[in-house]
Structure 1
Amino acid sequence: MADIETSTVSEEGYASTSQVGEFDLQIDATDETGPNPNATLVATYASCYLPALRVGGSQRGEEDLGKIQIDASADLDDEDDLESIAFDVHVEADLDDETAADIAERAEGICHVHSALREELHADVSVYPGAF
């Protein structure tokens, strides 16, 4: 059995509902009934990076970073594929530049989404026509 299993269904159009554990996640390629897949990936990346930043802070002896806000932005290429992602990370704790840079670097090594964003983990796709 896999460590993570999801089920994604679309009755029609470009919107889908993914069952992730006990949660439903609405994603819509047209941004009408939910965020599009690229926006969802960017938000997921930021949502993973933020707690990784807290762990990186703890490893560096900074136990209380206070409030953290990540303003993420992304650029798309001509085919609407993600071309670049940038995080503006706002941390309540007063850190010097060296400590902030070290914590940010540690967070990259801790964040599972950061680690997953490479070609070797592209989906292995199987298509089953006429399944319904």
Structure 2
Amino acid sequence: MADIEVQSTCEDGYTVESVINGEWELIVDALSNDGPSPNEVLAADYASCYIPALRVAADQHGYDDIGEVEIEVAADLDEDDDLEAIAFDLTVEADLGEDAQDIVELGEDICHVHSALTEELHADISIESGV
């Protein structure tokens, strides 16, 4: 048995309904009519993976509670609607001081989605802390 099992079904058109591990339902629509597009889901998934990774990285640097973390994702598509670039504007409530960039980089190492993407598509991440 695989660690992750997804059953995806498309009855017609471009809307795909997926059931993840027999429990979670996700609707993705290539045209963004009935749900987010695959690229939109990937951008959201990347941010959703990176935030917990950043929290673990901060904890490993001695920050027990970094408060609220927010990522604004900007993803650019090429003329074929393929993802061409992803950037994160990251805001962290706690002041991470001189450790901020080290925490960002460790978060990249911990984030599974970051590791899964090609190097050319890794997010260009900026951070603002202590807000």
Secondary structure in structure 2 of the residue aligned to 1:2: coil
Give the structure, 1 or 2, with the largest relative contact order (CA under 8 Å, sep 6 or more). Answer: 2
Mapped to 2, the partners of 1:118 and 1:71 lie a distance apart of 21
Tell me what 1:107 maps to: 107
Larger radius of gyration: 1
- Structure 1 residues without counterparts, runs of 5 or longer: 120-132
Aligned amino acid, residue 30 of structure 1: L
The structure with more strand, counted as a fraction of residues: 2
Structure 2 unpaired stretches of 5+: 120-131
Q: Which amino acid aligns with 1:100?
A: A
Q: Deviations over 1:54-95 (max 9, x none)?
A: 000001001110000011110011111000000011100012
The letter of the residue matching 2:51 is L
1:118 Cα offset (Å): 2.5
% of aligned pairs identical? 56
Task: Point out 4+ residue stretches in structure 1 off by more than 2 angstroms.
Answer: none
How many residues in Structure 1 have an aligned counterpart in Structure 2?
118
> Equivalences for 1:86-125 in 2 at 5 Å?
86-96=87-97, 98-118=98-118
Q: Normalization by structure 1: what TM-score?
A: 0.87
Taking structure 2 as the reference length, the TM-score comes to: 0.87
